[in-house]
Structure 1
Amino acid sequence: MIPREVMQNIRRIQINTSHVVDDLLAGGWHSAFKGRGIEFEEVRPYQVGDDIRAIDWNVTARAGEPFVKLFREEREMSVMMLVDLSASQDFGTQHQTKRQLVTELGATLAYSAIKNNDKVGLTLFTDQIEKAVPPRKGTRHVLRLIRELLYCSPIGQGTNIQTALDHLGRTASRRSVVFLISDFQDRGFEKTLRVTRRKHDIVPIMVADRRETEMPNVGQVRLRDPETGKLISIDTSSRRHRDRFAERMAARIEATETLFRRLRMEPIRIFTGEDFVEPLQRFFHQRETRT
């Protein structure tokens, strides 16, 4: 039996995200992503103007007159969400942690998928695979994904994106749309990402909090890296220290975005405490105009 408080939280997110999908995202999703290809539908007699490459020579030989194959687009897709649950996701200064933002974002993507009659699955990871839910359809399935996003208690603390991509490679037999959702506090995954991209349509979503790049002036403080536990002391009253911190964080972000550009991938950046719908809409629109 699921506790009542848990059901209330799941229901709240269901209501909020369903409204967003209905009003803003469903059409954009349908236009932005194509199905996995075309499938055979039927044959019919050849008509003037038909492409001769579509002639079914076996049927033509049996019938004694030319017939052509007709195909239709296969719209159904498999959608996978690879979601980072490392310890740094518990950070947030804008009335929301990164994990809370990721939960609402994941729910929105999942509902968008099932409204397009697509299957959707979920892999939660840290420096290991924490939970894997295979792609399925239906509202009940999405409610399960929301529950996992809300209440999965990860064992690991760090981030290993390569582990998540390797797991995808072993478990996803067909081409999928893959939302890779993380703050990308990791290195060394470029080769695996490059290989995975050849098979799957990967959309990186970079989750961040503004305070991660803008240190306030609050005097002498001790900071702890949530993933490694490492402690450092810093005098935030020093403008030089604040500027150096901002430069280092900006360089890390730029390095990640440069990697995506090199692989011809389009990252989406979203921030805690801010509306994530507009960045998603902009991304969907850009995808639509290119298809």
Structure 2
Amino acid sequence: MNAMHNLPTQPAIRVNLAELIEMRHRVREVQLFSTPARRSPLIGLHHSRLRGRGVDFDQVRVYQAGDDVRSIDWRVTARTQEPHTKLFHEERERPTYLLVEQSPRLFFSSGLCFKSVLAARAASLIGWAALAHNDRIGGLVFGGEEPHEIKPRRSKQSLLQLLNRLARANQALSSEAGPEQDRFALALRRAREVLNPGSLVVVLCDERTLGNGNEQQLQLLARHTDLLLLPISDPLDHALPAAGLLRFAQQGTQLELDTHDGELRQAYRAQGEARQAHWQRLAQKLAVPLLPLSTQRDIVEQLRDHLNAQHPGKQR
């Protein structure tokens, strides 16, 4: 791994590998996955496979002395007139695949940190939590010229490789955006190609990334994997302040907005609300968890609040 990615960076504007590694110490602050002693509220968000380690049914065989009587299969016993017992085996570890956007549209913030930094921190936190949960970790960093993929493996080295790619992509970002390309759709298509049924796909992307083509890809992906959607936004994505004349420039193009224009601010707010509603409709349609993240607040506080909202009686 390149040593330059361990050097200090501008806080909240860029991240380095050392900061993403340090995120492992914050895993205990939020219960993302279940343990034998504690069930995570995330369990209740999706009934199929977002669950803790357990056992799967394997087969039925003739009852033997010493077998647990609670495992007797009474239907087979009644049919054969001979005691039979159910056998179980431990669940296989689940592949967790982090789809993380690091594109110029995320290189912005009016809050605590840039959206690109928030996405990287969230991916790191979830990655460390999944590794502690004995899941296989892999992922794809997209948004730049070339995507960077690490195939899921149950090893710390695999996660470190992914975080290194993530830090490098983050540090390469600038406000000079290139031609718009639908790299999100390509990333989703790649996930469909490489992942086995039952994998957990964690999607961390700009709230504005979602489009009709991407929505179709997410629907196809949701047919055989579990999805966890974490769209990233900034307060300025949803509302403009009445700050007078604002000037924007990018690649020689300039734009002026008179934010004292109430109709303009209302139309801008409506666009932001429409994007949020689009994500909500999609999550409801696919029956998957939606955990929006904002640059306005700390990542752990937001995740904890999302999970507590699903179980209001659960203590922090």
State the TM-score bracket (shorter-chain normalisation). 0.7 to 0.9
Of 167, 186, 198, the match for 2:190? 167
Point out where structure 1 has 5 or more consecutive residues left out of the alignment: none
Deviation at 1:28, TM superposition (A): 4.5
Amino acid at match of 2:2: I
Aligned pairs for 1:1-291 (under 5 A) are: 2-3=2-3, 6=6, 9-15=16-22, 17-25=23-31, 28=34, 31=40, 32=43, 33-34=50-51, 38=56, 40=58, 45=63, 50-52=72-74, 66-74=83-91, 76-126=93-143, 130-152=147-169, 153=172, 158-185=181-208, 186-188=210-212, 189-223=214-248, 231-284=254-307
Q: What SS is found at the alignment partner of 2:273?
A: helix
Mapped to 1, the partners of 2:5 and 2:221 lie a distance apart of 39
Mapped to 2, the partners of 1:103 and 1:167 lie a distance apart of 20
Deviation at 1:104, TM superposition (A): 0.9
Mapped to 1, the partners of 2:300 and 2:239 lie a distance apart of 24
| TM-score normalised per structure 1 | 0.81
Mapped to 2, the partners of 1:258 and 1:225 lie a distance apart of 33
What is the RMSD computed on CA atoms of the aligned residues?
A: 3.4
Q: Is the 8 A contact 1:78 1:118 kept in 2?
A: yes
Mapped to 2, the partners of 1:250 and 1:180 lie a distance apart of 20
Mapped to 1, the partners of 2:311 and 2:150 lie a distance apart of 29
Q: What SS is found at the alignment partner of 1:243?
A: helix
Q: What SS is found at the alignment partner of 2:280?
A: helix
| TM-score normalised per structure 2 | 0.75
Q: Is the 8 A contact 2:62 2:84 kept in 1?
A: yes
Deviation at 1:23, TM superposition (A): 3.5
Mapped to 1, the partners of 2:108 and 2:161 lie a distance apart of 24
- Tell me: CA distance 1:26–1:118, structure 2 relative to 1, closer, same or farther (3 Å): same
Percent identical pairs in the alignment equals 21
Deviation at 1:73, TM superposition (A): 4.2
- Tell me: CA distance 1:230–1:264, structure 2 relative to 1, closer, same or farther (3 Å): farther
Q: What SS is found at the alignment partner of 1:216?
A: coil
Deviations 1:93-130 (A, max 9, x none): 22411111111111100100110111111111228761
Q: What SS is found at the alignment partner of 1:25?
A: coil
Q: Is the 8 A contact 1:89 1:98 kept in 2?
A: yes
Deviation at 1:18, TM superposition (A): 1.7
Deviation at 1:214, TM superposition (A): 1.9
Q: What SS is found at the alignment partner of 2:138?
A: strand
Mapped to 2, the partners of 1:241 and 1:281 lie a distance apart of 35
- Tell me: CA distance 1:286–1:236, structure 2 relative to 1, closer, same or farther (3 Å): closer
- Tell me: CA distance 1:264–1:224, structure 2 relative to 1, closer, same or farther (3 Å): farther
Amino acid at match of 2:101: D
Amino acid at match of 2:20: I
Deviation at 1:7, TM superposition (A): 6.0
Amino acid at match of 1:193: L
Q: What SS is found at the alignment partner of 1:79?
A: strand
